[in-house]
Amino acid sequence: MKAILALEDGTLFRGYSFTGRCETTGEVVFNTSMSGYQEILTDPSYCGQIVNMTYPLIGNYGVNNEDIESDRIQVKALIVKEYQEFPSNRRSQRSLADYLKASDIPGIEGIDTRALARHIRLQGAMKAALSTIDTDPDSLVEKAKHSADMAGRDLVGKVSCREPMLWRDGRATRLEQGLERFRWPDNPGSFRVAAIDFGVKLNILRSLDKRGCTILILPANVDSETINRLEPHGLFLSNGPGDPAPVTYAVECIRQQIGIRPIFGICLGHQLISLALGGKTFKLKFGHRGANQPVKDLATGKVEITSQNHGFCVDMESLKNQDIELSHINLNDNTVEGLVHKKLPLFSVQYHPEASPGPHDAKYLFDRFIDMMKTYHY
């Protein structure tokens, strides 16, 4: 079935749908990973976006029930060069096409995905319309132009949990008696971590759980008073989609929590910490998305290969607080990849140390969070 991808600047790409009739709009971005398409599809940070995979063959190992990062597909559509209809992998439980169809998410193949990625690199990420129904290019370009902008848009409410949940036995479970009567489970030696869910990836929770943490997952709109009443040992701020600037309720909560207990932020959590410290963020030309981003740890001089997925970045020049120190930089464009407070128990990174699949270079950051809680509480 023929499909057209129309960018807001009038550029057209033609291909074929491998999931049936469809039409959608969203910001089109590219990911350079060679594998991990199921994790990408279910990453809440991709909410509102059409993902273009630059690796040419996608679908060859199918999908399964384990390799997910949330409870549903989050992307608006998936674009690939060549779709592999017959997966071959012992863990495969169904095809990528069936997986997408079950959630009514378009899958398009036959597009020159590297040409599309190059266009985005040169012109910047932009809005797009994708359709097998409307085949009028002018009409689709207009639909792309009039679709929602990513900048200034709070998408956190679309992906955050609706109620507090406790991470138990590898999954999030509802609280039996509600947050008002919640009591932390009796786990001697375990650190109590309150994780604010801005679109948290499950592997982040798994990574904390492996290190013996008891994790209470809180909705994005939780207030500082509630966190204080819960008395966690540490506060974790998750990844998430969209522009951090309009998420003012979270910024205010974080501002009130700084200095009370150890805080660790990843991706959107990192950006929100920066806003809470008085800084600003800006939209990158085409973002960082892939499993091969080089990051330098300025304290050790070591270079980490990291997994990333973000379209906004912290403006280091806007952070006037002399106690805030740049800890990591991106070696491709020298943008901010990490911050640390010189006096208070607080640090954050822009990239994803929990990456799976992906490089494991940055997993030590979870251990750093554990050590920080140990130092602060004992």
For the four alpha carbons of 284, 120, 3 and 135, in that order, the dihedral sign comes to positive
Catalytic one among 270, 328, 341, 352? 352
Q: Which tokens in the block code for residue 349?
A: 């990174």
With the CA atoms of 336, 241, 293 and 58 taken in that order, what torsion angle do they form, in degrees rounded to the nearest 10? -170
- Adjacency order of strands within the sheet including 303-315: 171-174, 165-168, 214-219, 192-197, 234-237, 263-266, 346-349, 336-341, 324-330, 280-297, 303-315
Catalytic one among 39, 109, 304, 354? 354
Contact 83/58 with Cβ under 8 angstroms? Answer: yes
For residue 267, indicate whether it is catalytic: yes
Catalytic one among 161, 267, 304, 310? 267
For residue 360, indicate whether it is catalytic: no
Contact 30/51 with Cβ under 8 angstroms? Answer: yes
Distances (CA, A) of 192 to 208, 223, 227, 240, 253: 10, 18, 12, 22, 19
Quickly list H helices, the chain. Answer: 37-41, 96-102, 113-123, 137-145, 156-159, 202-210, 224-230, 248-257, 268-276, 364-377
Please identify which residue in the block is written with the tokens 């966190």: 227
Contact 337/318 with Cβ under 8 angstroms? Answer: no
Distance CA 332, CA 358 (A): 18
Cβ within 8 Å of residue 186, ≥6 positions away: none
For residue 377, indicate whether it is catalytic: no
Distance CA 20, CA 221 (A): 38
Please identify which residue in the block is written with the tokens 């600003």: 280
Catalytic site residues? 267, 352, 354
